[in-house]
Structures are given as structure tokens and as C-alpha cells.
Amino acid sequence: MSIADAPPPHADFVVLNDAIRDRINWLKSKEMPRKFFIGDGEFGHLHFGPGQLVVVGGVAGCGKSCLVAEWVFNAVAADPALRAIITNVDVGLEKFVERQLARVSGVDADVLHWKQYGEQEAVIQDRLDEAAAHLETVADRIAFLRGCQKTG
């Protein structure tokens, strides 16, 4: 009895010969892989698509969440069919939104958080309104999973 003849009832596997043939057929086809546009610039050469896992590491506070959120917003903006779910164990929804508003508006995150607007209050408020309008163009296709934040 071969592997293909007697799979365990709970197993989900493919015989390697079938997988090889399927992949060769796909590689010879005209179908292109789906790629998510994450932006131009320093990271524009990176290719992200369905089924890929991307791990971004770094010390606390270096901007990992902000960077990945920028990639997600760019990808969703570039592909009207794309939807995303964001989860973050370190940052709650309110802080996440505040950081995105800072990123898009160009206003320092600490200035926003501590409301240190000074004489620039009117300018900052206008920039926040513009940032919110920009983010809202894709916000209906991005969800934030609550309840994943660390406690204690």
C-alpha cells in the first residue's frame, strides 16, 4: 500500500509528484503572482503577496509597527480589492490611530500625544484633518483586532 492509497482520515497532504507537476504548470502559465505594492523608496523593491510571512524585528520604540502599518495602508490604497486586519500586542487602537495620524500629517507623535501645539495649533489641526481624510480613503478596508494587547 502506498502513501497515496491510505491517507489517515485527518491528514491533509499532497504527494510531492503532484505538487511538482502543479507548480511546473503554474510556472509555465501566463498567470502572474499577486504582489502588494507597499510604497516606493527604500522598501519598494520588496515583494509581498498572499501566503508570505514577513517578520520585522527591532528594539522597542524603533518604529516597527509604524513601518508595517505604512506598508499595509499603501497596499490597501493601491489595490481596491485588498482588505487587511492589523493586530498588535504592544499598541492599542487609540495609540495606533494617533501614530498613523502623526505619520501622515508629518506632526511629531510626541507633540500630538502631549498636545504641545503652541502657536502652531491651527496649522497642526489642519494637518490632522488632512491626514484623517487621507487615512479614511482606505479605513473601511482595514480592521484592527482588539484584545491582543499585553496586560500587566
DSSP codes, 36-76: B---SGGGTT--B-TT-------STTSSHHHHHHHHHHHHH
Specify the higher pLDDT residue, 146 or 78: 78
- The domain in which residue 129 lies consists of 53-144
Compute the distance between CA of residue 125 and CA of residue 26 in angstroms, rounded to an integer. Answer: 51
pLDDT over threshold 70, residue 2:
no
- Domain membership of residue 76 (yes or no) is yes
pLDDT of residue 87: 85
Is the pTM higher than 0.85?
no
Write the burial class of residue 138 (CB in 10 Å: 0-12 exposed, 13-18 middle, 19+ buried): buried
- Domain membership of residue 124 (yes or no) is yes
Segment 86-97 shows an average pLDDT of 85
* Residue that is written with C-alpha cell 497532504 in the block: 13
Which among 111, 110, 141 has a CA at the least distance from the CA of 123? 111
- Domain membership of residue 112 (yes or no) is yes
Specify the higher pLDDT residue, 77 or 7: 77
pLDDT over threshold 60, residue 1:
no
pLDDT of residue 150: 63
User: How many domains, the chain?
Assistant: 1
Dihedral (Cα; 78, 82, 88, 94), 10-degree rounding: 70
Identify the bridge partners of residue 85 per DSSP, sorted by sequence position.
Answer: 143
pLDDT over threshold 60, residue 98:
yes
Q: At 142, is the secondary structure helix, strand, or coil?
A: strand
- Domain membership of residue 41 (yes or no) is no
- Domain membership of residue 131 (yes or no) is yes
- Domain membership of residue 80 (yes or no) is yes
Do you know the residue count of the chain?
A: 152
How open is the CA angle 98-101-102, to the nearest 5 degrees? 85
Which among 102, 40, 42, 41 has a CA at the least distance from the CA of 66? 102
pLDDT digits 0-9 by tens, 26-75? 999 999 999 999 999 898 888 899 888 888 899 988 888 889 999 999 99
- Domain membership of residue 87 (yes or no) is yes
